[in-house]
Chain A
Amino acid sequence: MAKKLPKTDIVLAGVGWTGGIIAAELTKKGYKVVGLERGKERKTEDYLMVHDELRYQQRNEMMQDLSKETLTVRHDRSKRALPYRQHGSFLIGDGVGGSGEHWNGLTYRFFPYDFEIYSKTVERYGKDKIPADMPLQDWGITYNELVPYFEKFEAMAGISGETNPHPEVPEVKYPTVPLKETPSMKMFKEASKKLGYHPYIAPAATLSESYTNPDGISRAACQYCGFCERFGCEYGAKASPVVTVLPVAKETGNFEVRTHCVVRKVLHTNGKATGVLYVDTRTGEEYIQEADVVVVSAYALNNIRILLNSQLGSPYNPESGTGVIGKNYAYQMTSAASTGFFKEKEFNLYAGTGSLAGVIDDFNGDNFDHTDLNFIHGGNIALGHYGKRPISNNSVPKGTPTWGKEFKDESIYWTNRSLSVGSQGSVMPNKENYIDLDPTYKDQFGDPLLRMTFNYKDNERNQQKYIRDITTKILEEMGADIINSPGDQEDWDTTKYQTTHNTGGVIMGADSKTSALNNYLQMWDCENVFVPGASAFPHNSGMNPTGTVGALAYRAAEGIEKYLKNGGSLV
Chain B
Amino acid sequence: MSEQEKNAPYLDKRSSRRTFIKNSGLTVGGVVLGGALGSLLGKDSTTQTHETGVHSTATAVNFNQALMYFDKAQFDTIDAAAEQIFPKSEVGPGAKELLVTYYIDHQLAGSWGLNSKEYMSAPFYPAEASSLFGHQTHLNRQQIFNLGIEALNSEAAKQYKAKFSEITEEEQVSILQAFEEGEVTLNGAVTSTYFFALLKSATIEGAYADPLYGGNKDMAGWKMKNFPGHQMSYANIIEKDEFVKIEPTSLNSQHKH
Chain A residues with CB under 8 Å of chain B are: 43-49, 51-54, 58-60, 65-67, 70, 73, 75, 79-80, 82-86, 88, 180-183, 209-210, 218-226, 234-237, 243, 346-348, 350-352, 356, 385, 389-391, 394, 402-405, 408-409, 412-413, 415-416, 440-442, 491-495
Contacts and interface: CB of A to CB of B under 8 A. Distances in A.
22 contacts: A51-B254, A59-B112, A60-B117, A85-B120, A183-B239, A210-B28, A220-B37, A223-B20, A224-B237, A234-B37, A348-B244, A350-B226, A350-B227, A390-B227, A391-B209, A403-B86, A404-B85, A409-B90, A409-B91, A415-B225, A416-B226, A495-B131
Given A235-B36, A391-B208, A408 B244 contact: no
Interface string B225-245: 111111111110111110110
B30 interface: no
Given A43-B35, A82-B136, A85-B136, A352 B131 contact: no
Interface of chain A, main secondary structure: loop
Contact of A351 (B94, B136, B238): B238
Nearest to A237: B34
A348 B234 contact: yes
Contacts of B121: 83, 441-442
Interface in B239-257: 239-241, 243-244, 251, 254-255
A51 B237 contact: no
Choose among B85, B125, B132, B226 the residue with the greatest number of A CB atoms under 10 Å from its CB: B132
A44 B35 CA distance: 6
Contacts, number: 213
B106 to A, nearest CB: 11
Contacts of A86: 115, 118-119, 134-135
Residue from B129, B208, B225 with most neighbouring chain A CB atoms (10 Å): B225
B132 A491 contact: yes
Interface string B187-201: 000000000000010
A288 B135 CA distance: 38
Contacts of A409: 89-91
Nearest to A345: B243
B173 interface: yes
A83 B133 CA distance: 8
B250 to A, nearest CB: 9
Interface of B: 20, 24-26, 28, 33-37, 39-40, 84-87, 89-92, 94, 112, 115-121, 123, 125, 128-129, 131-136, 173, 176, 200, 203-205, 208-210, 212-213, 221-222, 224-235, 237-241, 243-244, 251, 254-255
The 6 A-B residue pairs with the shortest CB-CB distance in the complex, in nearest-first order: A351-B234, A223-B233, A390-B208, A44-B35, A346-B243, A54-B209
Contact of B36 (A45, A59, A66, A348): A45
Contacts of A389: 208, 227
Nearest to A47: B36
A82 B119 contact: no
Contacts of B134: 84-86, 88, 494-495
Contacts of B35: 43-45, 236, 243
Contacts of B135: 85-86
Contact of A352 (B20, B231, B238): B238
Contacts of B205: 54, 58, 391
Given A223-B234, A348-B234, A348-B238, A66 B117 contact: yes
Given A49-B251, A348-B237, 11 more contacts: A45-B35, A53-B208, A73-B133, A218-B33, A221-B24, A224-B233, A224-B238, A236-B34, A391-B205, A415-B225, A416-B243
Contacts of B40: 48
Contacts of A73: 133
A82 B116 contact: no
A45 B136 CA distance: 38
Contacts of B33: 210, 218-220, 236
A157 B141 CA distance: 42
Contacts of B20: 223
Contacts of B133: 73, 82, 84, 494-495
B54 to A, nearest CB: 19
Contacts of B208: 53, 389-391
Contacts of B213: 54
B99 to A, nearest CB: 14
Contacts of B173: 404
A79 B136 CA distance: 15
Nearest to B121: A441
A75 B132 CA distance: 10
Nearest to A218: B33
B91 A408 contact: yes
Contact of A218 (B25, B28, B131, B176): B28
B235 A404 contact: no
Given A236-B34, A348-B238, A492-B132, A66 B119 contact: yes
Contacts of A219: 33-34
Contact of B231 (A66, A225, A408): A225
A491 B131 CA distance: 11
Contact of B132 (A209, A346, A356, A494): A494
A236 B238 contact: no
Contact of B222 (A67, A220, A348, A390): A390
A51 B252 CA distance: 11
A85 B233 contact: no
A49 B253 CA distance: 10
Given A220-B33, A391-B209, A394-B204, A51 B238 contact: no
